[in-house]
């Protein structure tokens, strides 16, 4: 007994070291559950408060850039408005006009107050939260291009996972042939992602646009993600993987907009209903 006791005393530092490292590894592997706990929310609020101060100062240095981005955005919107007006004017029939459904998406503008985009599990904090109607899994756009997905929310802040996060996947389609795929990021370069799960016979030309598909409730259809890169495609297990140059430069974006899909609950309700039906059918077999 005394020998054991002496051993413990002698190696107490090593023993404590091993125990604490085990605790840390547990933290690392349970981070997704953990990030939803009270501690995480609390620190989100505290850090966001300080981050907001830093961001206020930094904003002055980016005024020029932000202005240019807003101007570009404005120009693009004006262009769109003009072309839509032309279409609208040409449509005289009442039945067509009445068939136009009101937009079922709503945009909430937000400011980026903190970003960590150096690693593989990147995230960004914005200054809008559940008090502004933001919930988990909402899509985020910037300058009209897909930016990311809301990961977790606090009352006045939210964490956004950008497309360059290894845990984020977005359903996408190729402009020219409407082929569907899955956008994912594998780490490494911050200006491109890959479009996976394409059949091997699909070879889009470099420069072809990639848009979000209608197959998800996160983004509305036809939000620009990027363009097909000149880099060589990869074949992995019977699928074609295409490298996509992102339309967004994550280093310069300061303002984003969160998309709220008014029909999302309805959509998700249907999906859930269907899934539980399938599960029941399998159980009864």
Partner 1 sequence: MRNFGEQILWFIGLVFLQVIFFNHVNLAYVVNPFIYIYFVLVFPTKQKHVVSVVLAFLLGFFVDAFSFTWGIHTIATTALGYFQPIIFRMMAKPEQLDKPYPSLSFMHGDFVKYVAIMVFFHHFLLFLIEASDFSLILWVLAKTIVSSLLTFLFVYVIEKIRK
SS (H, E, C) 208-263: CEEEECCCCCCCCCCCEEEEECCCCCEEECCEEEEEEEECCCCCCCCEEEEEEECC
Integer Cα distance of 186 and 184 in angstroms: 7
Query: According to CB under 8 A, which one of 7, 43, 72, 104 is a site residue for partner 1?
Result: 43
Query: According to CB under 8 A, which one of 6, 7, 8, 34 is a site residue for partner 1?
Result: 34
Query: According to CB under 8 A, which one of 7, 50, 88, 267 is a site residue for partner 1?
Result: 50
Q: Is the dihedral of CA 261, 47, 246, 110 positive or negative?
A: positive
Give the 3-state secondary structure of residue 149: strand
The verdict on 29 binding partner 1 (CB under 8 A) reads: yes
The verdict on 26 binding partner 1 (CB under 8 A) reads: yes
The verdict on 8 binding partner 1 (CB under 8 A) reads: no
Query: According to CB under 8 A, which one of 6, 7, 8, 21 is a site residue for partner 1?
Result: 21
- 253's tokens: 């974006």
The verdict on 20 binding partner 1 (CB under 8 A) reads: yes
The verdict on 257 binding partner 1 (CB under 8 A) reads: no
Write the CB contacts of 193 (distance below 8 Å, at least 6 apart in sequence).
Answer: 163, 164, 183, 184, 185, 225, 226, 243, 244, 246
The verdict on 224 binding partner 1 (CB under 8 A) reads: no
Residue 14 vs 101, nearer CB to partner 1: 14
Of residues 151 through 210, those in contact with partner 1 by CB under 8 A are 159, 187-188, 190
Query: According to CB under 8 A, which one of 6, 8, 25, 234 is a site residue for partner 1?
Result: 25
- 284's tokens: 């009864």
Residue 13 vs 86, nearer CB to partner 1: 13
Contact residues toward partner 1 (CB under 8 A) are 12-14, 16-17, 20-21, 23-31, 34-35, 39-40, 43-44, 46-47, 50-51, 53-54, 58, 114, 116-121, 123, 159, 187-188, 190, 251
């Amino acid at each position: 007994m005394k020998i054991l006791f002496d051993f413990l005393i002698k190696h107490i530092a090593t023993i404590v070291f091993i125990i604490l490292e085990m605790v840390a590894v547990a933290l690392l592997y349970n981070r997704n559950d953990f990030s939803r706990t009270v501690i995480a929310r609390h620190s989100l609020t505290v850090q966001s408060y300080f981050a907001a101060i830093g961001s206020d100062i930094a904003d002055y240095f980016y005024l020029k850039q932000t202005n240019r981005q807003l101007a570009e955005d404005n120009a693009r919107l004006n262009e769109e408005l003009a072309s839509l007006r032309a279409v609208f004017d040409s449509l005289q029939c009442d039945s067509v006009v009445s068939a136009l459904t009101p937009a079922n998406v709503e945009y909430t503008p937000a400011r980026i107050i903190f970003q960590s985009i150096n690693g593989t599990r990147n995230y960004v904090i914005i200054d809008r939260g559940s008090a502004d109607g933001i919930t988990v899994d909402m899509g985020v756009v910037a300058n009209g291009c897909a930016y990311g997905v809301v990961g977790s929310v606090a009352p006045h802040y939210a964490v956004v996972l950008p497309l360059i996060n290894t845990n984020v996947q977005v359903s996408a389609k190729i402009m020219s042939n409407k082929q569907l795929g899955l956008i994912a990021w594998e780490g490494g370069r911050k200006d491109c992602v890959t479009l996976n799960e394409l059949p091997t016979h699909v070879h889009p030309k470099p420069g072809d646009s990639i848009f979000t598909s209608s197959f998800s409730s996160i983004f509305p259809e036809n939000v620009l993600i990027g363009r097909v890169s000149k880099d060589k495609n990869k074949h992995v297990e019977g699928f074609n993987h295409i490298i996509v140059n992102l339309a967004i430069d994550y280093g310069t974006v300061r303002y984003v907009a969160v998309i709220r899909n008014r029909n999302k609950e309805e959509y998700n309700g249907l999906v859930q209903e269907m899934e539980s039906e399938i599960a029941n059918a399998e159980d009864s077999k």
